[in-house]
Structure 1
Amino acid sequence: MSDIRELVALNLRRLRRERSMTQTDLAFRAEVNRGYVSELESAQYSATVDMLGKLAKALNVAPGALLEQSPKRIKP
């Protein structure tokens, strides 16, 4: 994937869903607006490094997980 914004969007959505969180849940935990989470997940905006840190903390993952080229799949 060439566009890092789209990569972050895909990983953010995947990680949130794996944790059975809504956008509202994630926004609350990261202390941001739910609309902003939606815009990040649809690759409308780029997240700052600080925001990646807040989102990663809210998802309980390392910040690098939001930048993985080949997201790790959880086996059932």
Structure 2
Amino acid sequence: MPDARLEEVLGFIAANVRRIRLKRGMTQQELAEAAGIALRFLQEIERAKTNVGVAVLVKLADVLRVPPGVLFRRRELPEVKRGRPKKG
């Protein structure tokens, strides 16, 4: 698989994991714990900075309550805002 294509697909996965996680009202910490993965690894997934195995994709999809294929849908990564979100 060409590197550009891999980067594109990892971007789709990153955008979908983040979008669905936020839609479910979950923090990164909550999702990581529920999926049994390290927080740092989830952060890298959401930034499209690491390759993701099938086992991890299935765990994430199960916790997010979506079919694994949903994580591959074409989506763009939103601009990253640094720092914690402001409370209410």
TM-score by length of 1: 0.86
Say yes or no: does 1:68 pair with 2:73. yes
Q: Deviations over 1:30-68 (max 9, x none)?
A: 001111110000011011111100100111111011011
Taking the TM superposition and a 5 Å limit, the aligned residue runs for 1:28-39 are: 28-39=33-44
Which residue pairs with 2:47 in the alignment? 42
2:33 partner SS: helix
Aligned-residue offset at 1:69: 1.8
Say yes or no: does 1:5 pair with 2:10. yes
Structure 1 counterpart of 2:55, one-letter code:
D
Aligned partners of 1:35 and 1:5: how far apart in 2?
A: 16
Percent sequence identity over aligned pairs: 36
Computed over aligned residues only, the root mean square deviation of the Cα atoms, in angstroms, reads: 1.5
TM-score by length of 2: 0.74
Instruction: Return structure 1 stretches of 4+ with deviation > 3 angstroms.
Output: none
Which residue pairs with 2:83 in the alignment? none
Paired residues, what number? 70
User: Which structure has the larger Rg over C-alpha atoms?
Assistant: 2
Aligned partners of 2:43 and 2:29: how far apart in 1?
A: 9
Q: Which runs of 5+ in 1 are unaligned?
A: 71-76
Aligned partners of 1:10 and 1:69: how far apart in 2?
A: 9
